Structures are given as structure tokens and as C-alpha cells.
Structure 1
């Protein structure tokens, strides 16, 4: 009999995510996948799964699950109260939930997105090789809703490891330094705008999501107002619309865009955007 987990309450936004479906941009399909890839990889390692096994990305909290047969699970990413049968548990650690147990995610206190991995991975619909939910295109499983039943797979490939204290990590509440390269279109901005991008401090806008993270700060002026042809976009591209306020494209970004790109965030810095909260500060630094 297949082990299952029932969604009692889905919270604001809970999505099935793996490491995405790269390689289909020529078909107009973005990669999607977990915003905090490191957190998903860690959660899977803690329960003996391959790093890319499907898990749940929980935005802010509110998810409540009821377990069928006993499972092992781990929660990483954001820090906050996660309860097992009403008792707060430690994060970044494998835990066993008995049959009928309830796992509940309280509001994140640090960071924004939790990641839940279950030993064996989740059994979900696979689209173009991935179980990820793309909120822009609608590909992949729908956002979780109360009453959904999730199957647990058999993809575990290793025993549950002993806890490594070096894996313990909490998202910062302070300013975050992000490594970025100037983009080919940076010459379309005034020298003062390029300097301001790398020298000023930016604030995370509440008007952000998995498609893009908007920033507020000084207006980045262009040299002219000529329209650009639509171009291919990468996750980490920093577009600047007519408002002069930059947007960092994230996992569910469109594969093309017409706004000029002033910089591109390094792949190693991308995961940090998953945990940035509204009002938090960002400083861009020249990648070495």
C-alpha cells in the first residue's frame, strides 16, 4: 500500500518543487524549480533522497499535513515554529512522524520559504521531466489545497545520515550582499545609474513573487528611451522597466523580455532571494 500525506490546510502558498526542468527555453518553457535550491538539496540529503527529489516549498507558513503510514521527513530553509503533533521540532534534521501525526508550519520568523522533504520523495505528475510547479506558465502540479492527498515514492538511495552541525543555518534578517556581473545592456544606462546599482542599498518590495523580486531605491536612468527587441532571459537577470526600479528575475521568469538588463546575478547568489523578506536590504557587489 502506498504511503500518503493529506493536506489539511495549504497556507498562503505551498507548491511541489524539485530542481526544475532546464533545457526547454527554446520551446518557451522556463526551468522553474525550488527558489532555494540549496535548502531543497539539504532537506533531501537529510532523509537519504537524491538531492533533486520533489518536496514542498512552503511560503511563509500555514501548511498543515496529516500523515498516513509512518514517514521520515526534514524541514530546511526558513526558520520558525514547525510542530509535530503540537510540539515544536528542530529544523535541518530528520524526524519520524507516526501514522496519523500532524505536521504544522507556523509563520516563518527568519527567511520566507520552508522546504519539506519526505524520505522516498513525493509522487506527483511529471511534466517535461519535472514535478515543479511553474506559477507563470501553469505547468506542473497545481498549488496545494486542503484535501489534496500526496503519495510518497521510493526514491531514497541512502540511509538517513547523522546530523552534521555544519549544515545548520538560519536566514539573515540583515542586509544581504549579492554578487553580480554587469550585463551586455549595461551600456544603455548612464554611468551614474550603473554606479548607483552597485553602490546603493536596495529594499525588497512586498510586490515580489517566484517570477521576480522587485527592489526599490534610486531611479536607474537610461541613456535613451528607444525600445528594445525582446531578448532571451536567464534567472538572475536584473531588468529595469520604465520606472527605473530593478526587478531580479527568479525561477518562474518568462524566457524572453523587452526591458534592458543592467546586471546578472551569479548562480551562487540566486538562492538568497528565496529567503528575502519585504523591506530587507540588498547590496549588489561586482562578482570576482
Structure 2
């Protein structure tokens, strides 16, 4: 059992999501930064299906009721155990009654906490993920919550620390493929001209972008689209001209044209882009 003593801006339980429910109008959800989530589970020796905690910026404080093996990955929020600093992307051994505290990350947006055995809350439609768009899954964490831990896996962690490259500084470059509705714009290549900046209107559903410099995205078609499917990483452009990059909890359908789609390998990077982060798009090669 783990006790939540404090929560920062937001903390949710996540796993790999709930694929296979599109025909019922339910999206996949799951961890926004999939590679960081997967690494956290690997560090503690969990199967990839185990649920962990996704932490927005930081501020989470957890207290153990028994001995636990834990790891923190993703955005590098400074971590301490009973006030002693501990390493990022490293295996942490906590005794009963010890406290793991995450400060505020200086870069990136989402950190992940894994515990050996996984967070064992009841699954909904086969997943323990919180879908913030539909409201499906366990509620966001609150102070005083008690989180059960699942059975400890038989395999043991075989590393103490995983060397991970730091998040890039300055301008980020995100690779995309144009389409499927690039022909609805006067000049779809304007997406690549100049830079964009992540707005404050950003969450697990999507990251809205403001123009930093460069030409506006102008539509050449005045009519609206029939509703069509939306993929993870789709860049949808509403009438305002402010693109929205769809993330983990994105709607499964939409009616605004999609000018391009972020390549799968860069979706995790987009999930770490905090408000104010400048970025450029480039064509995937």
C-alpha cells in the first residue's frame, strides 16, 4: 500500500491504455510519454502492462506502508527519500514508512513513478488508465488516497540506473507527415515556416500552439468536413488557425481538417512540451 500525502497540479494513474474500444467511442488513453512510462516499469522489473503514476510538473508526495521498489522517470523532477536526494531514472528502495517527494521539474512536463508490482486499482474496460476526456478510469489522485500494490513479479530489476538523454533545450524540432487534409490549406508548407510555441491551453487531450513567427495557416476550403477518425499525433486546425496536436486522451473523431500527423517516435517528445516551449515542424524523412 502507498499513501498519497500531497498532490501537485495533477497526478493520474496510467498504464498502456485501453485499445480496441473505438467502436464504442472510447479512446486508448494511457501514459502520454510512453517511452518514459515503459522505462519506469522496466527499472522496477514490472511487466509493461503494470500501472504507474503520471505526474504533471511535480509536487507529488508518497508514503510507503511497506517496503517498496520504485523508480522516477520522464521530466526530471528533483526527488528525495526522507529528505535525501535520490537519482532520476534509478532504482529506489524504500522501507516501510519512508516518504518519496517530487519537486517541480525544471524542464519537461510529465514525470512517471513506478512501483514494483504496479498500482493495483480496479481496471475499467481492461485498463487502469484515467481518460481525462471521457472521465473513464480511476479519479485523479488526491491527498489521503491509499493505492494498493499488485503482486511482486518473480523477475528482479537487473539495473540500478538507466542513462537517459536530457530533454532538448531551446527550440525543439518535431517531425511530421503532411496530410490527410493538407490540400484544404492555401499553403500547407506554411506549417514548416517559422516557429510555434505551446500555449497554456494544453493538457492530456492535446497541445494547442500559437504562432511564434511565420505565416498563418489559411484554409482554401470554406465548407466543413464530415466527422472523421483522429489518430494520435494528428495536427488539427480549427477556424482560429491555432493547430492542436492530439495527445493520449484525444477524441477519436473530429470535424476540423488535419494538416499533418506527428511521427510516432516524436509523440512522446510532444507530451513533454510545456507551455511556452518553442518548436518547429519538419518533414519526416
**TM-score scaled by structure 1?**
0.95
Residue 201 of structure 1 corresponds to 195
Residue 146 of structure 1 corresponds to 143
**Residues 245-271 of structure 1: per-residue CA shift (max 9 Å, x gap):** 100011101111111100011111100
- The alignment partner of 1:205 has SS state of strand
Residue 177 of structure 1 corresponds to 173
Kept after mapping to 2: 8 A contact 1:111/1:173: no
Kept after mapping to 2: 8 A contact 1:219/1:243: no
- The alignment partner of 2:265 has SS state of helix
Kept after mapping to 2: 8 A contact 1:78/1:108: yes
| CA distance in structure 2 between the partners assigned to 1:133 and 1:269 by the alignment | 22
Segment drifting more, 47-56 vs 167-176: 167-176
Kept after mapping to 1: 8 A contact 2:123/2:137: yes
Displacement of 1:157 after TM fit? Answer: 4.6
Kept after mapping to 2: 8 A contact 1:56/1:117: yes
Q: How does 1:66-81 map to 2 (within 5 A)?
A: 66-81=63-78
How many residue pairs match? The answer is 282
Q: 1:276 aligns with which of 264, 273, 276?
A: 273
| CA distance in structure 2 between the partners assigned to 1:271 and 1:246 by the alignment | 18
Q: What are the ranges of 5 or more consecutive residues in structure 2 without an aligned counterpart?
A: none
Residue 50 of structure 1 corresponds to 47
Q: What are the ranges of 5 or more consecutive residues in structure 1 without an aligned counterpart?
A: none
* 1:93 correspondence with 2:90: yes
**TM-score scaled by structure 2?**
0.96
What's the Cα RMSD here?
1.2
| CA distance in structure 2 between the partners assigned to 1:52 and 1:216 by the alignment | 36
Displacement of 1:88 after TM fit? Answer: 1.3
Kept after mapping to 1: 8 A contact 2:61/2:100: yes
- The alignment partner of 2:47 has SS state of coil
> CA 1:285–1:155 in structure 2 vs 1: closer, same or farther (change >3 Å)?
farther
- The alignment partner of 1:268 has SS state of helix
| CA distance in structure 2 between the partners assigned to 1:101 and 1:204 by the alignment | 37
